[in-house]
């Protein structure tokens, strides 16, 4: 799980395997596989880094750096 922050300041954890795409509209918007949109304060680069770190931690995609 990765931590994200909603626009209202609420922090919560999200399953990164459920993220279909990250859009900049201009707010960072995560499109989930369910079709739900999650708008967050975090920038896309930080989210991508968290996803890579998470995948390294759980042992999948070991070639990501």
49: containing domain = 2-58
Confidence grade of residue 11 (pLDDT, cut at 50, 70, 90): very high
Has residue 48 been placed in a domain?
yes
Residue 27 resides in a domain? yes
Whether residue 47 lies inside any domain: the answer is yes
Specify if 63 maps to a domain: no
pLDDT at 60: 64
Q: How far is CA 40 from the centre of its chain?
A: 9
Structural domains of the chain, count = 1
Query: Measuring CA to CA, how many Å separate 2 from each of 6, 29, 37?
Result: 13, 15, 16
Q: What's the pTM value of the predicted model, to 2 decimals?
A: 0.83
Q: What is the mean pLDDT of the chain?
A: 92
Residue 20 to residue 63: CA distance in whole angstroms? 21
Q: Do 40 and 52 meet the contact criterion of CB atoms below 8 Å apart?
A: no
| pLDDT tens digits for range 26-54 | 999 999 999 999 999 999 999 999 999 99
């Amino acid at each position: 799980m990765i931590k994200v922050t909603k626009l209202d300041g609420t922090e919560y954890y999200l399953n990164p395997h459920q993220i279909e795409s990250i859009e900049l509209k201009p707010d960072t918007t995560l499109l989930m596989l369910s079709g739900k949109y999650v708008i967050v304060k975090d920038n896309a680069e930080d989210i991508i880094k968290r996803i890579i770190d998470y995948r390294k931690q759980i042992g999948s995609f070991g070639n990501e750096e």
